[in-house]
Amino acid sequence: MGQIPDSNEKDVNIAVEAAKKAFKNWSITSPEERFKVLNRIAELIEVHLPELALAETNDNGKPLWLSKKVDIPRASANFRFFATGIMHFATESHSMEDKAVNYTLRQPIGVVGCISPWNLPLYLFTWKIAPALAAGNCVIAKPSEVTPVTAFLLAKICREAGLPDGVLNIIHGTGTNTGEAIVKHPDIKAISFTGSTRAGERIASLAAPKFKKLSLELGGKNPNIIFADCDWEKMMKTTMQSSFSNQGEICLCGSRILIEETVYEKFKAEFIERTKALTVGDPLDENSKQGAIVSKVHFDKIMRCIDTAKQEGGKILCGGSAVQPEGRCANGYFIQPTVMEGLGPNCQTNTEEIFGPVVTLQSFKTEEEALQLANATQYGLAATIWTQDISKANRMAAKVESGIVWINCWLLRDLRTPFGGMKNSGVGREGGWEALRFFTEAKNVCIEL
Ligand code: NAD
C-alpha cells in the first residue's frame, strides 16, 4: 500500500524543537480556545468518516462495518469529550481554617510523548492525544508502524481544523528507533504508552531513571466468569463479542471463559455452534464478522500459540486453523475463531496473552474457585461477571484483580471512568479527570492568612 519513514533521533529532535516553540503560545491559550480547535477536529473526523474507516480497515484488516461503527466514531468522541472536559476542569483548594489556604495549580507539563498500538489505531491514538492537547501540552505522537495511515490522515485534519503548527507532531517509525528516541528524549517530560507488556517494561526501564511521568496501558488475559443464574441469551450474545470482536485483538477481550460446572456442557455446545457460524472473510464484505489478522508476524504468533496449546494437552473444540477466503483475500492472514478446553489455569495458554481469536473454557464449582482461576495470571486489566445475583456480582467485583469489571455487559464505556489495569497490565489510569491530571503538573500554593 505504501511506505513510511523509520524516523530516528534527529527527526524526533526536530519535532521536539517545533513542539517547544509552539508550547509558548499553546500553553497559555484559554480552555475555550482549545475547546474550539479540538471540537472542530472531532467534527472533521466525522466529516471524513468514510475515508478514515476505509483506511483503518485496509491497514488493520478489521471489518469495514466495525471501523465505521466503532473505531472512527470513537476517535471523534475522544476529541469531543476532552474538548468539553477541559472547560469543566477545576482544581482543589485546602483550607487550614484561620491559618492558611492552599490552592492547587494544574499546569501543562510541556512536551509529552504518546505511543499507541495497532489494534484500535485511531481510537487509541486520539484517546491519548486529545487529553494531552486539551490540558495545554504539545505532543510528539507515534502511531504503530503496522497501522500508520489514519494517524497520517489525522495530521491533515488537524491542519484543516486550525491546530497551530508544532502543537501536535505525528512522527512515524518503529518502536526500537522512533519509539525509544521519544522515550529517551530529555525534553519530553511524560510518556503515555499503550501496547504490549514487554514494550512497557522496556519503556519503564528507560523513562524511570529520567523521572518522567509514565502512564502504561498494557496487555491482558481477561477472565469472563459465567454463573448458572445469568441472563443466558444476553450472556451468550455478549460472550461471542467479548471473545472474538476485532479478531480477538482487543486488550479487553475475555480470552479465558470460566463457566459454572452445572452449565458447562450446555455453554460449550451452544458456544461452539455460534462460533462455527461466524463468517471469516474479506473485511470489505458487510457479511464478514471476522476480518484479517493485522500482519504476518502476528498471524504466525497466534498459530504458534495454538500449537503450544495442543502440546500442553488442549483439545480444540472448533477452529484452530488458518482460513483462505476466495478472491482478493486468498493470500491474507485469516484465522478461524478457536475454542479450546482441557487446559489448566497455570499453562502458558491460560497465562500468556495471545491477542487473537482464541479462547479457552474452564469450569468452576464455587465462587472461591472462580476467583482463584480469574486471578491466576500476572495480568489484571478487565474482568466480566455474569450473574443475576447482585450481591454475588459485587462480592466478585471487589475481589477480582483487575482495573475494570463489567457485570452483565462488556465494553460498555463511559469516558469519564478510570481506565487501566493492575499487575502487569499497567500503571496509572486514563479517562476523564485521570487523564487530565496525568497530563498536568500539580503545584500547591500555600498562603498564610
Ligand atoms: P507493541 O508493544 O509491540 O507496540 C505498541 C507501540 O509501541 C507501537 O507504536 C510500537 O512501535 C511501540 N514500541 C514498541 N517497542 C517500543 C520501545 N521499545 N520503545 C518505544 N516504543 C515502542 O504492541 P502492539 O503489538 O502494537 O499492540 C498489542 C498490545 O497492546 C497487546 O499486548 C495489547 O494487550 C496491548 N493493548 C493494551 C491496551 C490497554 O489499554 N491496556 C489497549 C490496546 C492494546
Catalytic position from the list 145, 180, 217, 353: 217
Q: Are strands 138-142 and 188-194 parallel, antiparallel or unpaired?
A: unpaired
Question: How many angstroms is it from 194 CA to the middle of ligand 1?
Answer: 5
Quick check: 2 pLDDT over 90?
no
Q: How far is CA 210 from CA 201, 205, 442, in A?
A: 15, 10, 19
- What's the pLDDT score for residue 445? 98
- What's the pLDDT score for residue 202? 98
Question: How many angstroms is it from 175 CA to the middle of ligand 1?
Answer: 9
Which one of 62, 123, 174, 194 would you pick to mutate in the ligand 1 pocket, going by the greatest count of ligand atoms within 8 A of its CB?
A: 194
The CB density around residue 91, as the number of other CB atoms within 10 Å, is 14
Helix (H) or strand (E) holding 360: strand 358-364
C-alpha cell at 346: 497455570
The chain-wide mean pLDDT, for the chain, equals 98
Q: pLDDT tens-digit profile of 262-316?
A: 999 999 999 999 999 999 999 999 999 999 999 999 999 999 999 999 999 999 9
* 251 counts as catalytic: yes
Say if ligand 1 is within 6 A of residue 355 CB.
yes
DSSP structure string for 274-291? HHHTPPB--TTSTT-SB-
Atom of ligand 1 nearest to the CA of 173: 11
Catalytic position from the list 138, 230, 251, 329: 251
Say if ligand 1 is within 6 A of residue 180 CB.
yes
- What's the pLDDT score for residue 221? 98
Per CATH, 9-218+425-448 and 223-407 having the same topology is answered no
Average pLDDT over residues 356-366: 98
Q: What is the pTM of this model?
A: 0.97
* Strand locations in 60-212 (E): 93-96, 100-108, 111-115, 138-142, 168-170, 188-194
C-alpha cell at 311: 502440546
Average pLDDT over residues 130-149: 98
SS3 241: helix
Atom of ligand 1 nearest to the CA of 120: 43
Percent of the chain with pLDDT over 70: 100
Atom of ligand 1 nearest to the CA of 421: 41
Could you state, in order of their start, the residue ranges of all structural domains in the chain?
9-218+425-448, 223-407
CATH superfamily of the 223-407 domain? Aldehyde Dehydrogenase; Chain A, domain 2 (3.40.309.10)
Least Cα distance to 336 among 293, 305, 300 occurs for 293
- What's the pLDDT score for residue 379? 98
Q: Are strands 188-194 and 111-115 parallel, antiparallel or unpaired?
A: parallel
Q: pLDDT tens-digit profile of 31-64?
A: 999 999 999 999 999 999 999 999 999 999 999 9
- What's the pLDDT score for residue 180? 98
Percent of the chain with pLDDT over 90: 100
- What's the pLDDT score for residue 27? 98
Q: Give every CB contact of residue 158 below 8 A, 6+ residues apart in sequence.
A: 41, 168
The CB density around residue 3, as the number of other CB atoms within 10 Å, is 7
Q: Which value, to the nearest 10 degrees, does the dihedral of the CA atoms of residues 368, 373, 374, 380 take?
A: 120
For the domain made up of 9-218+425-448, give the CATH fold: Aldehyde Dehydrogenase; Chain A, domain 1 (3.40.605)
Say if ligand 1 is within 6 A of residue 142 CB.
yes
Task: Categorize the per-residue pLDDT at 1 as very low, low, confident or very high, splitting at 50, 70 and 90.
Answer: confident
Farthest CA pair distance, the chain: 78
